[in-house]
Each structure stands twice: as structure tokens, then as C-alpha cells.
Amino acid sequence: MFSGVKERLLGLLVASRDEPGVLYRVTEVIYKHRANIEYIAGGARKDDVAELQLEVSGTTDENQLVKDIEALEGITKVNLVPTFQRIYGKRVIVIGGGAASRSTPSLSSARSSWQTPFARSRACIARASSCSRAH
């Protein structure tokens, strides 16, 4: 956002194999689309799948950006998700949103492999409900 014009933020939740080089490849695609990473968080894992949560601005073709990320080696899924700015109208900090380990019961009892700590945190935020530390 160099011009002072407020750009649309694109929220992405990227699932990938947990291996070296994935973050590099994702950020390279974002760079090639002349987009800017406004927010990034990572570290949620289940088995051999890692999650990366991004908020990106400045892309001229959101659909192509998503397709290009999905086509990368190691990427298993890309979902569009609401941004924190869209939910709250400002930047917020989620404390403890991804502080679960592989042995945490909530991960093993999740309804699907995609329901990881980041996804649950976003769902709690979107519902504007309080979420217990058990999430």
C-alpha cells in the first residue's frame, strides 16, 4: 500500500506438506504477482500437513494468485478466508490461537483434518464468541 490508497486484503489459508522450501515457494508466487504480505502466521500442524495463514494486498488477479499457489510443489489446499480486518475493521492479535501440539486431544478429535488451530481460531472470531483455552 505505497500510494496511500486502501487496497483490498485477501485472506488465504494454505495447507502444505511439512517440508523445507514451501514458504519460499509461496512467497515467491506472491512476489511475482506484485502483491504484498500484510500478515503471516504459521506453525499449526497435524501429521505431515502444515498450515500457513496469510493476508495479501495488491494483487490484480486474486483467482490466478490462488491457482498459482495451489499449483506449487508441496501445496495440498488453498482456502479463501475472512481477514481480521474484514471481521473487526482493524488489526487484532489472537493470543494462543495456534498453541496446540500434535498430541493435543482437540486435534485428534477434530471433525476433519482441515480443522486445525488456525481454522478454529478464525471460526471463533467470525462467530464473535469467546473460545476456551481447550480450542
pLDDT tens sequence across 110-123: 334 444 445 555 55
Arithmetic mean of pLDDT, 93-113: 44
Per-residue DSSP letter, 35:
-
Give the pTM.
0.63
The strand ranges marked E within the chain are 9-17, 36-46, 49-57, 75-81
Arithmetic mean of pLDDT, 90-115: 46
Cα gap 22→64, rounded to integer Å:
18
The model's confidence at residue 6, banded by pLDDT at 50, 70 and 90, is low
Could you tell me the domains of the chain? 9-127 (3.30.70.260)
Q: Rounded to 5 degrees, what are φ and ψ at 108?
A: -75, -20
> Of residues 40 and 124, which shows the higher confidence score?
40
Contact (Cβ atoms closer than 8 angstroms) between residue 134 and residue 79: no
